[in-house]
Amino acid sequence: MNLPNKITVARIFLIPVFIIVMLDLFSLGNVKIGTMTIPIAHLIGAGIFIFASATDWVDGYIARKHNLVTNLGKFLDPLADKLLVSAALIMLVELGLAPAWMVIIIITREFAVTGLRLLIAERGEVSAAKMLGKIKMWAQVVAISALLLHNFPFEYLSIPFDIIALWVAVIFTVVSGWDYFAKNKDVFSGPK
């Protein structure tokens, strides 16, 4: 397994660490930043989530720069992203920080595209992430990070940046899913 794929696998292994931290099993308490009070577990969880998300850029950069792009990487990388995003979104619903219906839309799209990727793989093809999908991923990362940080520092400006970012993520999620299915509709027309 090459270095980019090892980084991708490490991203997957960070998910249970993120979940354990977010559950605040050790009662880490709160921190006061100005007038805001944020659970320390959420700050640490946000750090883990942001770090794990950044590894997505790192593994892709290394793979392209050193010509280490593999079919395994093309499959594992988006899967790791989907697992990380889904875990974070489900935790946000559990904590009452994100509306369940928005999370359902995002996770449904992720499962649907993963299913389509499997159908494409069955035909002997591997579909790497496209630009719209990458924009969708980063929109999700920004929204989740803002929600984990309880809208810090935008809370001081009375701007609901976290909710605006979540709306943007939902829109890009739907649009990129529609685009992915439209570009691969031939998969449903039978064997190639």
| For range 3-25, the mean pLDDT | 95
Q: For all residues of the chain together, what is the average pLDDT? A: 91
The residue with greater pLDDT, 157 or 37, is: 37
| For range 13-34, the mean pLDDT | 93
Query: Is the per-residue pLDDT at 192 higher than 60?
Result: no
Q: Which range (53-67, 114-128, 163-177) has the least confidence?
A: 114-128
Name 66's Cβ contacts closer than 8 Å, sequence gap at least 6: 3
* 94 band by pLDDT with thresholds 50, 70 and 90: very high
Q: What is the pLDDT of residue 129?
A: 65
Q: What is the pLDDT of residue 190?
A: 64
For residues 81 and 135, give the distance between their C-alpha atoms in angstroms, rounded to a whole number.
13
* 73 band by pLDDT with thresholds 50, 70 and 90: confident
Query: Is the per-residue pLDDT at 121 higher than 70?
Result: yes
63 close to 131: Cβ distance less than 8 angstroms: no
* 158 band by pLDDT with thresholds 50, 70 and 90: confident
The residue with greater pLDDT, 2 or 153, is: 2
pTM (predicted TM-score): 0.90
Domain 3-189 carries which CATH code? 1.20.120.1760
Render pLDDT for 136-149 as a digit per residue (tens, 0 to 9): 999 999 999 999 99
| For range 141-164, the mean pLDDT | 91
Give me the long-range contacts of 147-154 (CB less than 8 A, separation at least 24).
147/92, 147/97, 147/98, 148/42, 148/45, 148/46, 148/49, 148/88, 148/92, 148/97, 149/38, 149/42, 149/43, 149/46, 150/36, 150/38, 150/42, 150/97, 152/33, 152/36, 152/38
Query: Is the per-residue pLDDT at 191 higher than 70?
Result: no
Query: Is the per-residue pLDDT at 179 higher than 80?
Result: yes
Query: Is the per-residue pLDDT at 128 higher than 90?
Result: no
